[in-house]
Structure 1
Amino acid sequence: MENFNPDFLEEENDDLYEHFTFTVGKGQSPLRIDKYVMGKIENATRNKIQTAAKNGGILVNDVPVKSNYKVRPLDIIRVLFTHPPHENLLVGEDIPLDVVYEDDEVLVVNKPAGMVVHPGHGNYSGTLINAIIYRFDNLPNNSSDRPGLVHRIDKDTSGLLVIAKTEHAMSHLSMQFAEKTSEREYVALVWGNVETDEGTVEGNIGRHPKNRLQNTVFLDDEADKGKPAVTHYKVLERFGYVTLVSCKLETGRTHQIRVHMKHIGHTLFNDERYGGDAILKGTTFTKYKQFVENCFKVLPRQALHAKTLGFKHPKTGEFMRFNSEIPEDMQQCIEKWRNYSKYQELEE
């Protein structure tokens, strides 16, 4: 690093494109940079990261480093590849949208399960953003350069999203989400009998140290990790081995409800990423196993729906609240459990 040529960035990086920037946490212990970056980028292979380093595409505090460089607290890491980010190559696509509300400032849509919100690794087309840029020109970019996007929900979560159509709407709505004045309520089916009628889950959420596809809760002794997250839950209906709950978000961390409910011992039903696609509660009877398998077939995704969305209109100041029906696949699964729990009561 001492022999770094200051002209390197101009000479060598003309054909490299920045994809990611990370700031190393204060509590980070020394770790090879290829391992550190792999833990931060979903679907990245070590070979791809090491090739980027050979090409001068891994920079620490604007200085290219080799794969064996040990990261230090507060290092600023930039990752550059030889191809432009796919997010920068957005193409509008004529994809049907379930529009709940629209005016000159905002668009509220009901996203189906299975639709990715924005392009990323492995999903470069068929996303909600591809659909909205087909319909609208000159949408404002958010802080991550994603047109129109104020917030997002996971691919296999269904429900309501608001899109900003103007710069004013983007800044106004983003501020509401940041200041926790927006309203977001989800309905979830979770494993186990949630004993308390209502409660609050608090705990910083960040990337799982051993499984980079998951997030996890960091407790008091690791308070410097993750970002603060608060989820309020309320029991709607109990079915014995599973419970239907309402979850209201104070914050909007990635996988927040999925992580927080797992943290209190109630993983979302059929949430493959967090282990909810196994039988976590119930009997060992073959009949019961077959029943649960049938529920998984009816609802081949995590049982989570963004049911209610509320915010102040950026122009009129009026508080607007939108509700959406629980989709058919989730309704069918809930009904199967409802019938099963009644059958169990009769048996007992």
Structure 2
Amino acid sequence: MQKKPKPSRPSPPGPRAYPVREADELLRYLLKTLAGQGRNSIKAMLARGQIHVDGQAVTAYNYSLQPGQTVTVHKEKPPEAPPLVGLSILYEDEHLLVVDKDAGLLSIATEQEKEWTAYRQLMEHVRAQKPEARVFIVHRLDRDTSGVMMFAKSEEVQQRLQTHWRDLVKERTYVALVEGAVRKPEGTIASWLKESKTLKMYSSPYPNDGQHAVTHYRTLRTGNGYSLLEVNLETGRKNQIRVHMQDIGHPIAGDKKYGARLRDLHRLGLHAKVLAFEHPMDGRMMRFEAEVPKALLRPFAGKGKA
């Protein structure tokens, strides 16, 4: 006896597009537009990236809608991005990603090292929501430097940020654990940086010979053979802080390449604590801060908060 074919399951409904006719906030608009959907259900759809505005996933309840825009509701749940390892997202919109990177994670692969990187993970993260999406490197942190780092979501945003970096970026503050007791409460280091044939940066003894670099520092704590400094960059050259700390006789803890001698810190004692900038597309002031890792505070345990 011939078996009856099993009835095929109906395909899930495709995305539905809704025009925006007057200014409104996204959640309020959806509550009015999606009759029969409860507030919690709509919030869950927003959190899962199922609501798009003009083709971009939006998760903010209070996102400002303008007449002429299109809101698209995707009934299917998007595939989940793999969990991030060694970094967490501090902020995301259709133009930018700001992350807190752990020490030990490469920002982007090099010719010599093709391993799992912040860049590759974030590429998978954005493609889980939109298969054709991409991320673009704006600046880098060394593998063993932790802290705040920014990526662009388009070449246009990347170029704006890189071209107008000095105008858009208002603050880049690091915390550095250095060897020895820094006696001066604050200071400024300026030099001309060059790169050797072995790819090591150094300060040239000659004026105008290389890239001008300026680093400001303030001493936060000293003790147990270390100092904790707040470091503010006026320029952003390759390995700038590492070279300048070596120049004043207080190399970054754990930085064998630039003169560190002590071996009890199993990472680089450098952390990008604050990144503040004007949003490249709408001019909003943005400020992000990453908590100082405990490893950098351990030499001062029991001596109060930095």
> Does TM, normalized by the shorter one, top 0.5?
yes
Deviation of residue 121 (structure 1)?
3.3
Aligned to 2:254: 270
Q: Which amino acid in 2 is paired with 1:220?
A: Y
| Separation (CA, whole Å) in 1 of partners of 2:219 and 2:164 | 27
Q: 1:215 aligns with which of 201, 213, 216?
A: 201
On the 8 A contact 1:93/1:126 being kept in 2, the answer is no
On the 8 A contact 1:93/1:130 being kept in 2, the answer is no
| Larger strand percent | 2
| Separation (CA, whole Å) in 2 of partners of 1:240 and 1:166 | 47
Deviation of residue 181 (structure 1)?
3.6
Deviation of residue 178 (structure 1)?
4.2
SS of aligned partner of 2:137: coil
Kindly indicate whether residue 125 of structure 2 is the aligned counterpart of residue 135 of structure 1: yes
Aligned to 1:282: none
On the 8 A contact 1:194/1:243 being kept in 2, the answer is yes
Aligned to 1:327: 293
Deviation of residue 149 (structure 1)?
0.8
| Separation (CA, whole Å) in 1 of partners of 2:300 and 2:212 | 31
Describe the superposition over 1:143-173 as per-residue Cα deviations: whole angstroms up to 9, x where unpaired.
Answer: xxxx511111100000000111123321222
SS of aligned partner of 1:220: coil
On the 8 A contact 2:105/2:118 being kept in 1, the answer is yes
On the 8 A contact 2:168/2:277 being kept in 1, the answer is no
Deviation of residue 204 (structure 1)?
1.2
Kindly indicate whether residue 190 of structure 2 is the aligned counterpart of residue 202 of structure 1: yes
Describe the superposition over 1:257-288 as per-residue Cα deviations: whole angstroms up to 9, x where unpaired.
Answer: 01011111111112121121x24xxxxxxxxx
| Separation (CA, whole Å) in 2 of partners of 1:109 and 1:334 | 27
Deviation of residue 213 (structure 1)?
4.4
Aligned to 1:257: 241
RMSD over aligned CA atoms reads 2.4
Q: 2:231 aligns with which of 223, 227, 247?
A: 247
Aligned to 1:34: none
On the 8 A contact 1:94/1:134 being kept in 2, the answer is no
Aligned to 1:313: 279
Aligned to 1:80: none
| Separation (CA, whole Å) in 2 of partners of 1:306 and 1:105 | 22
On the 8 A contact 2:103/2:143 being kept in 1, the answer is yes
Describe the superposition over 1:288-309 as per-residue Cα deviations: whole angstroms up to 9, x where unpaired.
Answer: xxxxx5xx1xx30121100000
| Separation (CA, whole Å) in 2 of partners of 1:118 and 1:172 | 20
| Separation (CA, whole Å) in 2 of partners of 1:124 and 1:171 | 25
Q: How does 1:43-58 map to 2 (within 5 A)?
A: none
On the 8 A contact 1:198/1:233 being kept in 2, the answer is yes
Aligned to 1:98: 88
Identity of counterpart residues, as a percentage? Answer: 36
| Larger helix percent | 1
Q: Name structure 2 gaps, 5 residues minimum.
A: 1-80
Describe the superposition over 1:166-197 as per-residue Cα deviations: whole angstroms up to 9, x where unpaired.
Answer: 23321222234244744210000111222221
Describe the superposition over 1:207-257 as per-residue Cα deviations: whole angstroms up to 9, x where unpaired.
Answer: 136xx1421111235x33x21111111111122632110111111111110
Kindly indicate whether residue 236 of structure 2 is the aligned counterpart of residue 236 of structure 1: no
Q: How does 1:173-212 map to 2 (within 5 A)?
A: 173-179=161-167, 181-208=169-196, 212=198
Aligned to 1:153: 141
Q: Which amino acid in 2 is paired with 1:218?
A: S
| Separation (CA, whole Å) in 1 of partners of 2:295 and 2:247 | 26
SS of aligned partner of 1:238: strand
Q: Which amino acid in 2 is paired with 1:100?
A: L
Deviation of residue 129 (structure 1)?
1.2
Q: Which amino acid in 2 is paired with 1:274?
A: Y
On the 8 A contact 2:223/2:299 being kept in 1, the answer is no
Q: 2:102 aligns with which of 99, 112, 136?
A: 112
| Separation (CA, whole Å) in 2 of partners of 1:165 and 1:249 | 25
On the 8 A contact 2:104/2:145 being kept in 1, the answer is yes
SS of aligned partner of 2:194: strand
Larger radius of gyration: 2
Aligned to 1:54: none
Question: With structure 2 as the length reference, what TM-score do the two structures score?
Answer: 0.65
| Separation (CA, whole Å) in 2 of partners of 1:308 and 1:334 | 21
On the 8 A contact 1:231/1:248 being kept in 2, the answer is yes
SS of aligned partner of 2:165: helix
Aligned to 1:77: none
On the 8 A contact 1:173/1:311 being kept in 2, the answer is no
Question: With structure 1 as the length reference, what TM-score do the two structures score?
Answer: 0.58
| Separation (CA, whole Å) in 2 of partners of 1:232 and 1:273 | 22
